[in-house]
């Protein structure tokens, strides 16, 4: 693994916790640590963190790709995000320009970050 963990700041931590609790559950991840001003998500250890900003100012868009276990998980992630009012940036589909089998969906989280659920083993039929 090239990334140990990643963290982003959120304008509304409670809204972001609701969003990530729902969409990450579809990928088999959960909130594993909560220290009040920051929460960590993962399957066992906190690999992805949300926090309140330490300084005032605009939040910059971040892109995060979350691993999905299959095409169904990509669709479940998308459904959970849409159910919470997230904007769909790119519908679930194969992205052969990245590599064969790359199946992903891209949505905006409550702070405008571009978040993706990706499965690397899809077939040309998208299964």
Residue 7 to residue 51: CA distance in whole angstroms: 7
108-46-23 Cα angle (round to 5): 30
When pLDDT is averaged across residues 32-53 and rounded to a whole number, the result is 90
Q: Which two tokens stand for residue 91?
A: 């519908």
When pLDDT is averaged across residues 25-54 and rounded to a whole number, the result is 91
CATH architecture type of domain 6-53+61-119: Roll (3.10)
Q: Where are the domains of the chain?
A: 6-53+61-119
CA dihedral 109, 44, 7, 17 (to 10 degrees): 40
* Band of residue 5 on the pLDDT scale cut at 50, 70, 90: confident
């Amino acid at each position: 693994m090239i990334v140990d963990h990643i963290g982003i700041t959120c304008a509304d931590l409670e809204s972001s916790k609701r969003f990530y609790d729902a969409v990450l559950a579809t990928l088999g991840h959960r909130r594993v640590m909560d220290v009040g001003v920051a929460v960590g998500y993962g399957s066992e250890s906190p690999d992805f963190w949300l926090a309140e900003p330490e300084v005032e100012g605009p939040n910059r868009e971040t892109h995060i790709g979350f691993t999905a276990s299959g095409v169904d998980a990509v669709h479940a992630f998308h459904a959970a995000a849409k159910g919470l009012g997230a904007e769909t940036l790119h519908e679930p589909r194969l992205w052969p320009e990245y590599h064969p089998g790359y199946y992903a969906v891209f949505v905006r989280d409550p702070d405008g970050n571009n978040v993706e659920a990706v499965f690397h083993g899809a077939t040309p039929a998208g299964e």
